[in-house]
Amino acid sequence: MDEVDARLPFHLDAWIQYMLLILFTIGLIAVVFPWILIAIAILMTFFVILIALFNRTIVHIKRVDNTSRSPWFAHLMTTVQSLSTVHAFGRSDEFMRKFHRLLDENTVPKVMFYMANGWLGFRLDVLTMLLAMTVALCVVFTHGHISPALAGLALSYSTSLLGLFKYNVRLTATIDALFASVERIVDYIKNLTSEAPTKIKGHEPPADWPKQGHIKFGKLKMRYRDNLPLVLRGISFEAKPKEKIGIVGRTGSGKSSLGVSLFRLVEKAAGEIKIDDIDISAIGLYDLRSKLAIIPQDPMLFIGTIRYNLDPLKQYSDEEIWSALEKTYMKDMVSKLDNQLEAPVVENGDNFSVGERQLLCMARAVLRKSKILMLDEATAAIDTDTDSLVQSTIREAFSDCTLLTIAHRLQTVLDSDKIMVIDNGKVAEFDTPSNLLADSSTLFSIMVANMTRNKEPKDTSDTASQEGKTAAL
C-alpha cells in the first residue's frame, strides 16, 4: 500500500515529464536531420528487445522482494512487542538468527534489483552514445548545408538525451516493478474470500434480541482454513439464561476457538450455534456482533479519546458512560485526568497501565448492556489486585448476563454455575464445580490439585483462600 500510495505516483509523475522531454528532443533532432529517423528506428528496435528482456526479470525480482519483506517486518514487530518475554526465556540468539535469515532472504532480491538496473544502464549508455555519435556524424557530413546554429542545437540536445533516456528507462523499469504491488492488491480484492454480509435482508433478528441469553452449541465443528484439521470436533453444550460457564483446558485445546465461532470470525464447518433459538449463521454479522460483548486477554484501546473508546458510535449519554466507569472502578481515575472523558488515548492505550486498559475494556462491555458476555482469559495479563477488582466487577455488573469465561487462573471460575473442560476440541467434562471436584479422577480435579500443589509457599493467604473455596465446593 505504501508503494501504491506514495512511491508509484511520484515515479509516474517524473516518468511523464521526462518522456515529454525525450519526445521533444528526438523531434527537434529529426527536424534538423530528418534522415536520422532511420538510425533512431534501428536503435529503438534494440531498445525494445533490451527492455523486454529486462522487464521480464525485474518484475519477478520485485515480486520476490515484496513477498520476502513481509515475514521480515512481521518478525521484527513480533520481537519488539515481546522483547521482555524473549529475554526472560533466553531466546535472544534464536530470534537474532531468524532475523538475520529473513534479512538475508530479503536482501538478495534487493541487491539483484540494483544489479539488474546497472546491467540495463550500461547498455542504454551504449545505445544513447551511438545516437549522439550518429548526430555528430550528420553534422560533419552536412557541413555547409545546415545552419551551424541548428547543427549545434541538435548536437547539444543529442548529448543531453544520454542522461534523459537512461534515467527514464530506469523509471520505466521501476514503475513496472512497483506495479507488482498493484498486482498483489488486485489479487487480494478478487481472490480473498470476504466475510458474510453485515445484514441479511429478511433475516434481521428482533430489535430486543437476545432477551434471555440462551446459548446452544450443537455438534459444532470448525477449522481455520480449508485443508487444515478441525480445531473444534463436535462441541455440544447448552448455557441457560444468566448462567455462568467456566471454560478450562490446556493450551491448544480449542477454548478461544469457541469465541471465534461465536463471533463468526471464522465460519463453522458443520453444526450450529443458536442464541434464543435463532441460528446465528442465518443473520448478518453486524446484527450478531452488535448484540454480543467480549473482554479479550489483551486489552485493546484505539487512538482517540476515552469517550471514543467507550462509545465510538455516540449512542450513550455522559451519565451512562460515567455509570459504566463507576461500576468498573475507573471513575475516580478518569475524573482526575485533564479533559476527563475527552482525555487522549495514544496507540494501543500505552498511556494507561495494563490493568487500567482492561478495566476500560470492561466499562465498554458494561455500557453495551449485552445479554451475552465472553471473557477470553481477561485476567491473564494483570496482577492479583486488579484481578480482584475485575472479578468483583464481573459479579456485580454482569449478574444478569450469560457469561462464558475462558479461564487462565482456575480460581476465577470456581464460583461458576458450571465448568466445561475442553480437550482436543471436544467437551471432555461439563458439570457443576462441586460434582467435578467430588470425583478425583476428573480432569478438572487434577487441574485444581496441580494448581494447589504448585502454589508458592509464600502465597499462604491465597493458598488458604483457594483451599477453603475448594473445600466449600
At residue 466 the predicted structure's pLDDT band, cuts being 50, 70 and 90, is very low
Per-residue pLDDT averaged across 137-155, rounded? Answer: 76
**Which pLDDT score, from 0 to 100, does residue 121 have?**
77
Measure the CA–CA gap between 375 and 286, rounded to whole angstroms.
20
Mapped onto helix, strand or coil, the DSSP state of residue 297 is: coil
Q: Does 396 score more than 60 pLDDT? A: yes
**Which pLDDT score, from 0 to 100, does residue 296 have?**
77
Per-residue pLDDT averaged across 436-465, rounded? Answer: 67
pTM equals 0.61
The angle, 0 to 180 degrees and rounded to 10, between the axes of the packed helices 384-397 and 318-327 is 130
Which of the residue ranges 102-111, 230-239, 294-303 would you say has the lowest mean pLDDT? 294-303
Per-residue pLDDT averaged across 263-270, rounded? Answer: 89
Q: 251: closest CA among 355, 377, 373?
A: 377
Q: C-alpha angle 390/395/398, rounded to 5°?
A: 100
Site of grid cell 538496473: 117
Q: Does 459 score more than 60 pLDDT? A: no
Measure the CA–CA gap between 179 and 155, rounded to whole angstroms.
36
CB 380 within 8 A of CB 399: no
Give the start-end residues of each E strand in 358-469: 372-376, 402-406, 418-423, 426-431
Domains of the chain (ranges, CATH numbers) = 2-191 (1.20.1560.10), 242-255+280-431 (3.40.50.300)
The count of other CB atoms within 10 Å of the CB of residue 23 is 10
**Which pLDDT score, from 0 to 100, does residue 205 have?**
87
Cell, residue 131: 545516437
CA distances from 414 to 72, 441, 467 (A): 43, 17, 11
Higher pLDDT, 260 or 399: 260
Give 3-state DSSP helix, strand, coil % of the chain, rounded to 5.
Answer: 60, 15, 30
Over residues 187-224, the pLDDT tens digits come to 888 888 788 888 888 888 888 888 888 999 999 999 98
At residue 380 the predicted structure's pLDDT band, cuts being 50, 70 and 90, is low
Per-residue pLDDT averaged across 6-33, rounded? Answer: 85
